[in-house]
A = this chain, B = another copy of it.
């Protein structure tokens, strides 16, 4: 049994039992379930097949917007964005008139399960692909926390570990590569061998999934690579709990041309130029693989705008799936209303939302657009190398139940929290 220093912790209204074996939770970015299904079918993922057949395979719903940061934070807090506050890569601050990046821990409104365990004496390690997530995931954490992107800069004072490149035996990968995620898996295996943390959280990037459909050679190669690292983690005696931040769908016509509703153009035509401000919370400094095009948007309307009328008109636009006023969207999607615009919009499965053509650089798209953000990317795997117990089949599972499932539904019943 790993030294956890505590028998359980309570975080955001739930109690989590300390692990009896090292627990490795993986958030596989953009892991539409079919990626795993097809890799197994192709014979590329024999260990994943074993997990499905001999462990536990479930599906759960991620948080909408089905984006990376809201879902990673939901997973590590065990709670939706209405609790932790991170509902996208940035929000619009009406007072300052500024768009504010939410990748700083001061925007996080809840404690993480990782931080709480680490503060109770449990050895915790976190490895992310991109550095943008590291600060948020490492909030309050006393342990190891670094990114593959800046692995060469990891030091004991700030990241709880140094000499990462030597430990992993790999160079710093390109931020646009499958190798960025492979570095995360490789680091996880080495940390498990050398430091044996009781809880480890590994979070990859969806560079491959944005470019390659399930079952295609590059996708199968990625999941084959992942399969081999997971088999090593299993052989080291760890419990594996795998989920995803969101799924992934084609967003094009049959010819691979992106299907885009340009919302800022629509609002400019409808309300006058610049009267409304469309925010696409997928936007971040790394856009080459999706051109800031996802299936979720929020819009700030001018004072006195007729919200109900605008919602009704926008809902009739081809490609739009749902249009909700702020309050209804906050309830339905469990989002913090103070970080939403006046209306929230999702687009249909094969369609994305943009602002205006000039503001989307699609020159980096060297494959037909695949993206996420909407309701159609909500279903994600919940996959374990253990047989879970007492999971109610009528329970709507969420990706942010993954710690609850791994810790409280295996192998024994949950005990009262220590605090």
Contacts and interface: CB of A to CB of B under 8 A. Distances in A.
B255 A37 contact: yes
A33 B381 contact: no
A171 to B, nearest CB: 30
A394 B36 contact: no
Interface in A365-398: 367-368, 376, 379, 381, 383, 394, 396
A394 B348 CA distance: 16
B381 A253 contact: yes
A41 interface: yes
A163 interface: no
A381 B254 contact: yes
A57 B215 contact: no
Contacts of A213: 34, 38, 213-215
A259 interface: yes
A376 B396 contact: no
Q: Which of A59, A252, A254, A350 has the most CB of B within 10 A?
A: A254
A113 B48 CA distance: 51
A240 interface: no
Contact of A255 (B52, B250, B350, B379): B52
B349 A379 contact: yes
A59 B253 contact: yes
A53 interface: yes
Nearest to A34: B250
Contacts of A49: 255
Contacts of A38: 213, 216
A379 B350 CA distance: 8
Contacts of A348: 379
A57 B255 contact: yes
A328 interface: no
A40 interface: yes
Given A215-B213, A394-B318, A376 B379 contact: no
B350 A53 contact: no
Interface residues of A, number: 41
A53 B257 CA distance: 10
A257 B49 CA distance: 11
Contact of A33 (B41, B48, B254): B254
A312 interface: no
Contact of A41 (B40, B367, B394): B367
Contacts of A58: 253
A160 interface: no
A412 interface: no
A256 interface: yes
A256 B214 CA distance: 13
Given A213-B215, A215-B216, A350-B379, A368 B254 contact: no
Interface in A201-260: 213-216, 250, 252-257, 259
25 contacts: A33-B254, A33-B350, A35-B254, A37-B253, A37-B254, A37-B256, A40-B256, A41-B216, A41-B367, A51-B255, A52-B253, A52-B254, A53-B255, A57-B253, A57-B254, A57-B257, A59-B254, A59-B350, A213-B214, A216-B216, A253-B381, A318-B396, A348-B379, A349-B376, A350-B379
Given A33-B350, A215-B215, 18 more contacts: A33-B250, A33-B252, A33-B254, A37-B253, A40-B255, A40-B256, A42-B216, A52-B253, A52-B254, A52-B255, A213-B215, A214-B250, A215-B216, A216-B216, A253-B381, A349-B349, A349-B379, A350-B379
**What 7 A-B pairs are tightest by C-beta distance, nearest first?**
A52-B255, A36-B254, A254-B381, A57-B255, A215-B216, A33-B254, A213-B215
